[in-house]
Structure 1
Amino acid sequence: MNSSLRSTETVEYCYSFAEQSCMKANRSSGLRVSLYLFGVVAILVTVVGNMLVIISISHFKKLHTPTNYLILSLAVADFLLGCMVMPYSLVRSIENCWYLGEMFCKLQSSFDFMLCAASIFHLCFISIDRYYAVCDPLKYKTRITLQIVLMMIFTSWILSAFVGFGMICLELNLIEIRDLYYRQIYCYGGCILLMGKFCSVIYSLISFYLPGFIMLCIYTKIYFVATKQARAINDIARQTQAIKDSKNISSQTSERKAAKTLGIVMGVFLICWSPYFTSNFIDPFIEHSTPRIMFDLFFWFGYLNSAFNPVIYAFFYSWFRKALKNVLTFKIFTTDSSRINLF
């Protein structure tokens, strides 16, 4: 019975001439086409969306503010992720093979971890910026200066580079499991990343749980402060009959918009990244038994956060919609187009 089953199975290897070659993923042509189509769409949305943010903030002088520089740097990280990481990861995830050599595997993986971490760190610093803008608006301009924002950007990139290149290129992820990896998991033609317990805990804390906790606390505080401010405006409106109706409408709209925006910000971030970092945190403690297909699926959920970032942090702004219109209609090539008032 077993021999007949083995005879009907067709096992394909990444490299047929190698003894320790990885096996190709056994997927139908229709499924492969569907997965490639989904991946290409995700890559295009990520690249085009963040490129539009980069062009808009770089071109229009009215957008040259400390806050927008944070959004610009975030868009650069997400744009590079879409260009330099996602296309290679798409082939690796679908085919289960890596054809570009071990050195490029380490390089691509380093950029992968670095740019994902950079995106998360930028989101964290943007939440800090929004905290001072909403909760302490009178001191906002003195506390969030250009120098402070540049320091935030510099910290995001340096810390993410340490997370990515330091961990992968120096093989810090294999310190505890080097023998296990090369004896039981490694195969020729693969690009598999595993972490020991200590590395997994440190990486998850630095790259997700700590920034995520900070963001959750900050946005919770922002929500309550924004709600309190909206109610205060409502109380003033009730005492001033002449502006009652307009103020009531404005405050109610503001309260709903604050709740909706903050819900989307935290909801998308947690939905996209929680599955991967939860499984990555647990995997070393269950003897690395998590299926690789599950890791790939969860990592692509995380990638989608970079596609959604332009929508959340830029498309919600009216200035961006006006900038987008000028970009798509090629008005940015006209004289003095950089001085167009977008507000």
Structure 2
Amino acid sequence: MNLTAVNQSDGCQEYFCPERSVSLSVYVIQYEPAAAVALLTVCGNLLVIISVSHFKQLHTPANILILSLAVSDLLVGVFVMPIYFSWVIESCWIFGTVMCSFFKLVACQVTSVSVHTVTLIAVDRFLALSYPFVYSEKISPTVICIATLCNWLFSLFYNFTLLFISGNFTVVCPGECVSIVDEVSSLIDLLVVFLVPCTLIIILYTHVFVIAKKHVTAIRALQVHNSTSKNRVSDKSERKAAILLGILVFVFLLFLLPYYICILVISYSNADVFFVRDVATIFFFLNSTINPIIYALFYPWFQKSLKLIFTFKVFNKDSSLMNVQ
């Protein structure tokens, strides 16, 4: 993710913080929705983290990826959203030079980790459905943990290089926190963080859907002499799988595409669409709010985990061994 990227030749624009003379009630109206979104993001992802971490039955390769996604999205809610929302509401960067650089790095890190983890989830589901025997033998929780660690380390190295080493830099103009990134770096970022992951997700989920449909067709052939109720169950499962895969791909595109369209327009045409970019960036962050709903609330184990958490049964002895499947 390449927040507030501008052409390297633009440098620091002449900009000063506007004087604010609004009433306290206006501030409350502006900050309340922002605080609510950040709190929802933190709480949703925190519940996913507690569920997957606490219950040993959930320590599976797929759930480890969900855990990684929840951790990155939790950091978006804890650190990125409050600062960015304040920046937009105040129409001014008030956090200083050091915090500007740190904010850029953390924001790019957690959002790129989130996108790449979604891609890893797509790869995991494709392998599990396409090569079930090889998957059960080769893809262990340890392997997924290593892949997850590599994802975090690669994202950290990539974003640090993008922002501070490759001739690019971050600077605090009067009232602004600006990343000076050239067109080549912006294009590379577009490929690494959006186009390549997006393409992989669409291709892999398309294959998953096709394979799942073939499996359902094969099961139907074996159930020719069975009751019609079983056939109805197969039809329901097929529709549910199709709807879920459609939601996953659609939401991913919906939340990421507007931001990168704005970045392309700004980088290559110098068009004044920074307000639209701010809205698109907030929309980008909202993906972290939606992720726990899409990747967790669709699973029965998460609903059972919530009941155990909210009834405080997780504090019972040996509660980690409870059946939540």
TM-score when normalising by structure 1: 0.85
Identify the match of residue 230 of structure 2 among 243, 247, 257: 247
Identify the match of residue 22 of structure 1 among 13, 16, 41: 16
Identify the match of residue 66 of structure 1 among 52, 61, 64: 61
Verify: 1:257 aligned to 2:257, yes or no. Answer: no
C-alpha distance 46-210 of structure 1, shift in aligned 2 (>3 A): same
Aligned to 2:203: 217
**How do 1:151-162 and structure 2 match up within 5 A?**
151-162=146-157
Deviation at 1:171, TM superposition (A): 6.7
Aligned to 1:313: 295
CA distance in 2, matches of 1:305, 1:286: 27
CA distance in 1, matches of 2:26, 2:245: 36
For 1:296, give the aligned amino acid. Answer: D
Provide the secondary structure at the position in 2 that maps to 1:191: strand
Verify: 1:237 aligned to 2:237, yes or no. Answer: no
Question: Among the aligned pairs, what percent are the same residue?
Answer: 36
Aligned to 1:11: none
Largest Rg, 1 or 2: 1
CA-atom RMSD in angstroms: 2.1
**How do 1:271-290 and structure 2 match up within 5 A?**
271-287=254-270, 289-290=271-272
Verify: 1:81 aligned to 2:76, yes or no. Answer: yes
Deviation at 1:189, TM superposition (A): 2.3
Aligned to 2:48: 53
TM-score when normalising by structure 2: 0.89
Verify: 1:90 aligned to 2:73, yes or no. Answer: no
Provide the secondary structure at the position in 1 that maps to 2:173: coil
C-alpha distance 25-191 of structure 1, shift in aligned 2 (>3 A): farther
Would you say the 8 A contact 1:117–1:163 is kept in 2?
no
CA distance in 1, matches of 2:57, 2:157: 34
Verify: 1:39 aligned to 2:30, yes or no. Answer: no
Consecutive unaligned residues in structure 1, runs of 5 or more: 1-19
Verify: 1:328 aligned to 2:314, yes or no. Answer: no
Provide the secondary structure at the position in 1 that maps to 2:296: helix
Segment drifting more, 154-163 vs 209-218: 154-163
Deviation at 1:222, TM superposition (A): 0.6
Deviation at 1:21, TM superposition (A): 5.3
Consecutive unaligned residues in structure 2, runs of 5 or more: 1-13
Identify the match of residue 142 of structure 1 among 137, 151, 162: 137
Would you say the 8 A contact 1:114–1:160 is kept in 2?
yes
Deviation at 1:195, TM superposition (A): 2.8
Provide the secondary structure at the position in 2 that maps to 1:168: helix
For 1:314, give the aligned amino acid. Answer: A
**How many pairs are equivalent?**
311
Would you say the 8 A contact 2:59–2:141 is kept in 1?
no
Would you say the 8 A contact 2:314–2:320 is kept in 1?
yes
Would you say the 8 A contact 1:110–1:169 is kept in 2?
no
Provide the secondary structure at the position in 2 that maps to 1:160: helix
